[in-house]
Amino acid sequence: MIEDHFTTMSGRVIPLRIYVDPGDAPRALYAMDALKRAMKWDEEVFGREYDLDLFMIVAVRDFNFGAMENKGLNIFNSSVLLADADTATDMNFERIESVVAHEYFHNWTGNRITCRDWFQLCLKEGLTVFRDQEFSADMRGKAIARIKDVISLRSRQFPEDAGPLAHPVRPASYLKIDNFYTATIYEKGAELIRMLKTLIGEDNFAKGMDHYFETLDGTAATIEQFLNAFEAAAGVDLGAFQNWYSQAGTPRVSVQEAWDEANGTLTLTLRQHTPPTPGQSDKKPLPMPIRTGLVGEHGPLPMTLEGENAPGPDERIMVLDRAEQSWVFTGLGERPLVSILRGFSAPVILEQSRRPEDRARLMTRDADLFRRWEEAQSYGLEVLLGLTADENTNIDPAYLNALGTLAADRAIDPAFAALAIIPPSEADVLQYMKPADPGAIHAAHEGILTAFAKTQKTALMDAFERTRPEGDFTPDAVGAGRRALHNAALGILARLGPEEGGSLAQTAFAKADNMTDSLGALMALDRSGSDAFDVALAVFYDRWKDNPLVLDKWFAVQAGSVRADAIDRVERLLTHPAFTHDNPNRVRSLIGAFAQGNQAAFHAADGRGYALLAEQIKIIDPKNPALAARLLGAFESWQQLEPSRSARAKNTIENLLGTPNLSPNSYEIISRQLG
C-alpha cells in the first residue's frame, strides 16, 4: 500500500490509499498524483467534492476491464495503474491519468447519480468519458487531447457505426449487457455531451450540470431526466437533440461553396445524410454545431452574415438541424478557404472537395490546430486512395513537402507535429475504400512512408535530432511531446532500409533510457527490415521477462509487425512459455494486437489470419466469453472487404457460429455480424 491525503474545498482531509502487488508500490506514485489532481479539478470545474472519509484503489493483474468505479474502492487493471520511466511509455502515463480520473469522476456521475436500467448506460459512461476528456485536455493541451480523442473515435466507433454491429448510444435491446460496453456508448456518448455544451454555451451547460447534480443526487436516472435538467436550467428545447441517443450511424455532412467575386459573397450550403443501419432504414436530420472559420491569404477573415451591418467574428458556430441549409457571408475581398468542423464540433464524416494546394496551405496555416491535422489526414487519405486504385500513381510532391514543412517547423508544438506528419492509418483507409483491399492499402501506406523518408530526409533528421532526450525523464506533456516527435521521425526514417534506417534505429535502441524510446526504437527496427530486430527482441525479453506488463509490450510489438512473417511469428508466440490464455492482458497483447491492430496480416489474402483468430476464439470463449466477444469485433468490417477476403471472413464466422456451447456473448456478436 502507498498512502497520501487530499484536503477538500471544505477543509476535510481524505486519506488516499492504493493497494498493489508486493514490489510495485513505487510504480503507483504517478497514479496517486493523478488522483489528487483529478479530485482538485472536479472541485474547481464541476464543484464536486468527495463525500466519503476514505478513498482507495486496488490493482489486480487479471481483470477483463480497465477499471471499475466501486464506490470508495476502485478496482483497477494493473496495466492502467502502474508506471515508471523504465517500464511504462508516455501513452501508459497518459492512459493512467485518464482512467484514474474517469473512475474517480464516476463517484458523482455513476454512483451518486446512477442508471435506472442498463439501457441508460451512456448516462454514466458517456458523461464520465466527457469529463475525463476535459480533464486530460487541461492536463495535456486542448488541441492535442482533442486530436487524440478523434483518432480513437474514428478507429473504434466509426467502424462500429458503419457495420452490422451499429447501435444507438442508447440501445433498444441486448442479449448480454457485457457486449454494450462499446465505443458507441462511451466515445460517441461523450461526443453528444460535447455537442450539447457547444450548442447551449458554457454558462448554460454549467447551469444544467449544477441542476442535474442538485435535483437527481441519490437517484437512478434516465437520459430524459439528464436532458430535462438542461432544459429547466438553461431554458432550451432539446427535443430534437434526443434523437442523437436513439439513432444509430454516423451522419455525413457535405459542403458546397458558391463564390460571387463581383459582390464579394460566399454562399455555404451544408447537407446532412445518415446511411441506413441494421433495423433503422429511415433517418431524421439531427441538430449539430458546425464550428467554422474563413481563411484568407494572410490569415483569418471576418464572418459577416448577409443582413448584418458590422464585421462579424473570425469564427462562428452554425447549427445544422435540417437536411439542407445555406449561409451567405458578405464583405469579402478575396475568395476564402472554408475551415469547417473546427475542433471536430460534431461526430460526423465531412465530405468536402479541395484542391491539393489548398489542403497543403491549410495544413500549415489554419488557426485551428485540429483543422490543420484534419487537412493533413484528408490530403493523405486522397493520396493513399489514389495509390490503391493505381499502383503506378506518383505520390504528390506537394503532399510530401507539406509533411516535411510540418516536421521541420520549430515554432509548432512537437506533440502536434508528431500527430500531423503521420498519414492516415491503414484501418482508417479501409473505412473509405470500397471494396477494401487491405493488401493494397498496406502497400500504399508503406509506399508513402518510404517516399516521405527519402524526399524529406533533412526535415525528418532535424525533427529527430532536435528532440533527442535531455535530462531526466518526466511524464509531463512537454517531455511526452518531444519523445512523440522523436520516435515518429525515427519510425519514418526507418523506411530508408536495413542499413541506413536500421542503423539509426539500432543506435537509438542501445541508447534508450526509458520505455517510450526503447519501444519506439524497437518498432522502428521492425519497420526497417533489419536483422537486428530479432537480436533487439531477445535483449528486450531477457531484461523484462519477469515484468508481466512490459512482457505484454514485447508480445504486442511482434503481433503488430509489418514483416511478411507476421502470422508465423504470432503462431510461434502462441506456444511461448510466457503466453497464457488465462490472463486477459496477455491475450489482448498478442491476439488482440494482431487481429485489431495489424490490418495487413490479419486480412492476409489466404485467410490464415481469420483462421488463426477463429481457433483462438474457440479456446478463449469457454474461459472468458466477454473477452472472446471483444476480439470478435475484428470481423465487424467483413462486408466492406473485396469479394475473396469477404467470403473467407464470412465463412470463418459462420463456422464459429456452429461451435458447440458457444457463449451468449459470442453468439450475439457473430449473429449480428451475419445479420
| Structure-block grid coordinates of residue 613 | 483468430
* Of the candidates 188, 346, 196, the residue with the CA atom closest to the CA atom of residue 277: 188
Q: How many residues does the chain have?
A: 675
Task: Please tell me the distance from the alpha carbon of residue 126 to that of residue 588, in angstroms, as a whole number.
Answer: 24
**pLDDT in the model for residue 596:** 94
Give the 3-state DSSP-derived string for 397-417, with helices as H, strands as E and coil as C: HHHHHHHHHHHHCCCCCHHHH
- In eight-state DSSP terms, residue 267 is E
What CA–CA distances, in Å, run from 227 to 221, 333, 559?
A: 11, 43, 44
Count of helices and strands (H, E) across the chain: 30, 16
Task: Please tell me the distance from the alpha carbon of residue 122 to that of residue 260, in angstroms, as a whole number.
Answer: 46
Selected residue with higher pLDDT from 390 and 475: 475
149 touches 193 (CB < 8 A): no
Give the 3-state DSSP-derived string for 466-512, with helices as H, strands as E and coil as C: HCCCCCCCCCCHHHHHHHHHHHHHHHHHHHHCCCHHHHHHHHHHHHC
Confidence bin at 294 (pLDDT 50/70/90) = very high
Q: What is the pTM of this model?
A: 0.96
pLDDT at 393 over 90: no
Mean pLDDT of 558-563: 96
**pLDDT in the model for residue 669:** 95
* Of the candidates 549, 555, 500, the residue with the CA atom closest to the CA atom of residue 524: 500
Mean pLDDT of 358-367: 90
**pLDDT in the model for residue 178:** 81
Ranges of beta strands (E only) in 166-285 are 220-221, 252-260, 265-273
Residue percentage of the chain with pLDDT more than 70 = 100
Give the 3-state DSSP-derived string for 1-67, with helices as H, strands as E and coil as C: CEEEEEECCCCCEEEEEEECCCCCHHHHHHHHHHHHHHHHHHHHHHCCCCCCCCEEEEEECCCCCCE
C-alpha dihedral, 23 to 24 to 26 to 28, nearest 10°: -160
pLDDT at 163 over 80: yes
Task: Please tell me the distance from the alpha carbon of residue 538 to that of residue 81, in angstroms, as a whole number.
Answer: 27
Catalytic residue among 103, 134, 375, 668: 103
Mean pLDDT of 490-519: 97
pLDDT one-digit tens code per residue, 325-345: 999 999 999 999 999 999 999
Residue percentage of the chain with pLDDT more than 90 = 95
Mean residue pLDDT of the chain comes to 96
191 touches 206 (CB < 8 A): no
User: What residues does 320 pair with on adjacent strands?
Assistant: 288
Confidence bin at 391 (pLDDT 50/70/90) = low
| Structure-block grid coordinates of residue 464 | 529527430
pLDDT one-digit tens code per residue, 579-604: 999 999 999 999 999 999 999 999 99
Task: Please tell me the distance from the alpha carbon of residue 108 to that of residue 86, in angstroms, as a whole number.
Answer: 35
**pLDDT in the model for residue 447:** 95
Task: Please tell me the distance from the alpha carbon of residue 197 to that of residue 205, in angstroms, as a whole number.
Answer: 5
What CA–CA distances, in Å, run from 299 to 143, 318, 365?
A: 19, 21, 8
Confidence bin at 281 (pLDDT 50/70/90) = very high
pLDDT one-digit tens code per residue, 506-555: 999 999 999 999 999 999 999 999 999 999 999 999 999 999 999 999 99
DSSP per-residue string spanning 412-436: S-HHHHHHHTSPPPHHHHHHHSSSB
**pLDDT in the model for residue 392:** 64
**pLDDT in the model for residue 435:** 95
pLDDT at 169 over 70: yes
**pLDDT in the model for residue 174:** 82
pLDDT one-digit tens code per residue, 129-159: 999 999 999 999 999 999 999 999 999 999 9
- What the chain holds in terms of domains, given with CATH numbers, is 2-105 (3.30.2010.30), 114-246 (1.10.390.10), 252-346 (2.60.40.1840), 354-496 (1.25.50.10), 545-675 (1.25.50.10)
Task: Please tell me the distance from the alpha carbon of residue 512 to that of residue 519, in angstroms, as a whole number.
Answer: 9
* Of the candidates 157, 209, 47, the residue with the CA atom closest to the CA atom of residue 431: 157
pLDDT one-digit tens code per residue, 412-432: 999 999 999 999 999 999 999
Mean pLDDT of 547-570: 97
Of 171-180, 194-203, 288-297, 364-373, the poorest mean pLDDT is in 171-180
Q: What is the CA radius of gyration of the chain?
A: 25
pLDDT one-digit tens code per residue, 84-127: 999 999 999 999 999 999 999 999 999 999 999 999 999 999 99
Confidence bin at 404 (pLDDT 50/70/90) = very high
Mean pLDDT of 20-35: 97
pLDDT one-digit tens code per residue, 185-195: 999 999 999 99
pLDDT at 438 over 80: yes
What CA–CA distances, in Å, run from 650 to 614, 655, 657?
A: 12, 9, 11
Active site residue 103: yes
